[in-house]
Amino acid sequence: MVPLTNKVLVVGAGFAGLIAARELRAAGSEVEIFEARDRIGGRAWTEQRMGYTLELGATWVHWMQPFVWSEIVRYGQTIYPSPEYERAYWLGGGVLHEGAEDDLDATLQRPQAKIFEGSAEFFPYPHDPLYVLSPDYAGPADVPGRFRAADQGSVLDALRDGTFSQEEIDVCDAYWAAGYNGDPATASPLMAKHWAALSDHRLSLLDEQTLKFKLTDGMRGLYEAIAADLRCPIHLSTPVSRVEHGQDGARITLEDGSVREADAVIVTVPIGALGQVEFAPELPRPMRRVVDERTNSTGFKIWIKIEGHHSFIATAPGQSPIAMTKSEYFLDDGTTILVGFGPDHTKINLQDTAQVQQILRQWRPDLTVVDCDGHDWCADPWSGETWATVKSGQFTDGWHHFHNTDSRLYFAGADFAKGWNGVVVDGAIEMGITAARRVLRELG
Contacting positions for ligand FAD (CB under 6 A): 11-17, 34-37, 42-44, 57-61, 239-240, 268-270, 273, 276-277, 301, 377, 382-383, 386-387, 413-414, 424-425, 427-428
Q: Which is nearer to ligand FAD, 69 or 164 (CB)?
A: 69
Name the minimum Å distance from CB 270 to ligand FAD: 5
Q: How far is CA 182 from the centre of its chain?
A: 12
Report d(CA 188, CA 185) in Å as an integer: 9
Name the minimum Å distance from CB 89 to ligand FAD: 22
Name the minimum Å distance from CB 424 to ligand FAD: 3
Name the minimum Å distance from CB 444 to ligand FAD: 26
Residue 300 backbone dihedrals phi, psi, to 5 degrees: -155, 165
Q: Which is nearer to ligand FAD, 203 or 273 (CB)?
A: 273
Q: Which is nearer to ligand FAD, 268 or 392 (CB)?
A: 268
Q: Residue 411 carries which side chain, given as an amino acid letter?
A: F
Report d(CA 374, CA 337) in Å as an integer: 12
Name the minimum Å distance from CB 155 to ligand FAD: 19
Name the minimum Å distance from CB 401 to ligand FAD: 17
Q: Which is nearer to ligand FAD, 147 or 176 (CB)?
A: 176
Name the minimum Å distance from CB 307 to ligand FAD: 25
Residue 394 backbone dihedrals phi, psi, to 5 degrees: -85, -15
Name the minimum Å distance from CB 118 to ligand FAD: 25
Q: Which is nearer to ligand FAD, 90 or 223 (CB)?
A: 223
Name the minimum Å distance from CB 339 to ligand FAD: 9
Name the minimum Å distance from CB 306 to ligand FAD: 20
Q: Which is nearer to ligand FAD, 61 or 132 (CB)?
A: 61
Q: Which is nearer to ligand FAD, 147 or 387 (CB)?
A: 387
Q: Residue 47 carries which side chain, given as an amino acid letter?
A: E
Q: Which is nearer to ligand FAD, 114 or 242 (CB)?
A: 242
Report d(CA 441, CA 18) in Å as an integer: 19
Comparing CA positions, the residue from 406, 337, 298 lying closest to residue 59 is 337
